[in-house]
Amino acid sequence: MEEQQNEHGHTSFLVFSASLRKDSLNTKLAKLAAQVIQKNGGTVDFAHMQEFDCPTFNQDLEVDNYHPQGAEEFCKRILANDAFIIASPEYNGSMPGYLKNMIDWVSRYRPQPFHQHNALLLSASPSMAGGNRGLWALRIPFEHLGTRVYPDMFSLASAQQAFNEDGTLKDEKLAKRFEDNLVGFMNLVEASKHYPCIKKAWVEFLGEKLTKETERIE
Ligand code: FNR
């Protein structure tokens, strides 16, 4: 257990619920994701959509390098962490408008902060599909912006009846799948953070000279 706790110790995750609602099911799911990450040795920076909400995007507002407070905050938090995890509601088979609006604002920074950042998408809904269509819609702007969106997404169906009092999932098999999904993502984030250094150290250990073919490791 001790070893497991150290494994992801230096990897930090911005975890946020993309619902503005007080009793949000997605906030519950995001909180559970935060718990699972901490249990597996990761560091969590938890946030609510309220912190990132932005006025409706209008290019005319972009004078003197203006960015709204919510975009400023999101940009700061995405850069301060190794990866981000969003639990997003599905509205009409897509993502909530205010979430796309925030993404549009944040995409205006240079360097563009979504580029090459790892992301995991979660959703919760009272429906049988758990809001999964919304996540497919959410992949489009992120992939367009160069985010590495993890292939496995987790959507919690019938979410209004899925949680225990303590915020864990009632269904044990589902709870295991959720944890496996998160740990898989954590492993990827950790590898993409540390693997380039290990590769360089390995080449140096072998005493190999950096040739044209290997110098990309630098
Ligand atoms: C919804 N909801 C919904 N659910 C779903 O599974 N597919 C959908 O297309 C929609 N569409 C939709 C549109 C609008 C405008 C609203 C307000 C709601 C229901 C939604 O999943 C439910 O309200 C969730 O509880 C919202 O997530 P939070 O706020 O609980 O996290």
Q: Which domains does the chain have, with CATH numbers?
A: 2-217 (3.40.50.360)
pLDDT for the residue 10 = 81
Which residue did the predictor score with more confidence, 45 or 3? 45
Residue nearest atom 23 of ligand 1, based on CA coordinates: 125
Q: Per-residue pLDDT for 182 more than 60?
A: yes
Q: Per-residue pLDDT for 162 more than 70?
A: yes
Q: Which atom of ligand 1 is nearest to the CA of 126?
A: 21
d(CA 100, CA 139) in angstroms, rounded, equals: 11
CA 71 to ligand 1 centroid distance, Å:
24
The answer to whether the CB of 90 is under 6 A from ligand 1 is yes
Residue nearest atom 2 of ligand 1, based on CA coordinates: 91
pLDDT for the residue 215 = 56
Q: pLDDT tens digit string along 22-60?
A: 999 999 999 999 999 999 999 999 999 999 999 999 999
User: Average pLDDT of the chain?
Assistant: 91
Which residue did the predictor score with more confidence, 211 or 85? 85
The answer to whether the CB of 144 is under 6 A from ligand 1 is no
Task: Report residue 9's pLDDT band, with 50, 70 and 90 as the boundaries.
Answer: low
Q: pLDDT tens digit string along 62-93?
A: 999 999 999 999 999 999 999 999 999 999 99
Q: Per-residue pLDDT for 2 more than 50?
A: no
* Torsion over CA: 89, 161, 151, 176 (sign): positive
Task: Report residue 5's pLDDT band, with 50, 70 and 90 as the boundaries.
Answer: very low
d(CA 66, CA 178) in angstroms, rounded, equals: 39
Which residue's structure tokens are 């110790």? 9
Best mutation site among 90, 121, 132 for ligand 1, i.e. most ligand atoms within 8 A of its Cβ? 90
Q: Single out the residue of 172, 186, 7 nearest to residue 85, CA to CA.
A: 186
Q: pLDDT tens digit string along 89-131?
A: 999 999 999 999 999 999 999 999 999 999 999 999 999 999 9
pLDDT for the residue 25 = 98
The interaxial angle of helices 172-205 and 25-39, nearest 10 deg, is 50
d(CA 160, CA 97) in angstroms, rounded, equals: 23
Q: Which atom of ligand 1 is nearest to the CA of 20?
A: 29
Residue nearest atom 9 of ligand 1, based on CA coordinates: 92
CA 163 to ligand 1 centroid distance, Å:
17
Best mutation site among 27, 91, 135 for ligand 1, i.e. most ligand atoms within 8 A of its Cβ? 91
Which residue did the predictor score with more confidence, 65 or 196? 65
pLDDT for the residue 211 = 62
